[in-house]
């Protein structure tokens, strides 16, 4: 395998605003931490949350897919969450201006999060929406 000479694109780099340790409040409570893997192509989120009396811990890898043998990365910023209970969830990330949308499964899904960053970048307020109702408000505040 050859070393990739092209760095991450601007849309992937824009996720840098997530890097840090965040307190999460609302329908889930706890902390998440975002960090870059070497090379800057993938953002990793470490999750330690409680939701409806259930612990949600795990990690998520976020970036463009570049499957074996492919010459160029995919068009969408995708992620996969790996949970401590054996669950895996796929998402598509979109960041437009100060609005972050995280689609559950595929872009355009009826399950998604949409939130807006504060002007100083130290909080993200929004809501998870689920098909058929449900969902919850969520606020992330940067701790460091």
pLDDT, tens digit, 9 for 90 and up, residues 54-73:
999 999 999 999 999 999 99
Q: Please name each of the domains of the chain with its CATH number.
A: 10-131 (2.40.128)
Taking the CA of residue 76 as centre, how many other CA atoms within 13 Å lie in the half-sphere pointing to its CB? 15
Q: Which residues contact 85 (CB under 8 A, 6 or more apart)?
A: none
pLDDT at residue 7 in the model: 79
Residue in the block written with tokens 């989120």: 45
Name 136's bridge partners: 128
pLDDT, tens digit, 9 for 90 and up, residues 74-118:
999 999 999 999 999 999 999 999 999 999 999 999 999 999 999
Q: How many residues does the chain have?
A: 144
Angle (CA) 102 36 106, round 5°? 20
pLDDT, tens digit, 9 for 90 and up, residues 20-52:
999 999 999 999 999 999 999 999 999 999 998
pLDDT at residue 134 in the model: 84
Quick one: average pLDDT of 4-26? 90
Quick one: average pLDDT of 128-139? 93
């Amino acid at each position: 395998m050859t070393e990739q000479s092209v760095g991450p694109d601007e849309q992937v780099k824009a996720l840098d605003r997530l890097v840090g340790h965040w307190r999460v409040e609302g329908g889930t409570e706890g902390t998440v931490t975002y960090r870059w893997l070497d090379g800057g192509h993938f953002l990793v989120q470490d999750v330690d949350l409680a939701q409806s009396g259930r612990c949600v811990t795990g990690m998520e890898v976020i970036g463009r897919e570049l499957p074996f043998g492919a010459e160029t990365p995919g068009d969408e910023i995708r992620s996969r969450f790996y949970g401590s209970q054996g669950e895996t969830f796929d998402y598509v990330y979109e960041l437009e201006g100060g609005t972050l949308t995280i689609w559950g499964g595929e872009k355009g899904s009826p399950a998604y999060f949409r939130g807006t960053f504060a002007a100083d970048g130290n909080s993200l307020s929004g809501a998870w929406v689920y098909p058929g109702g449900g969902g919850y408000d969520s606020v992330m505040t940067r701790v460091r």
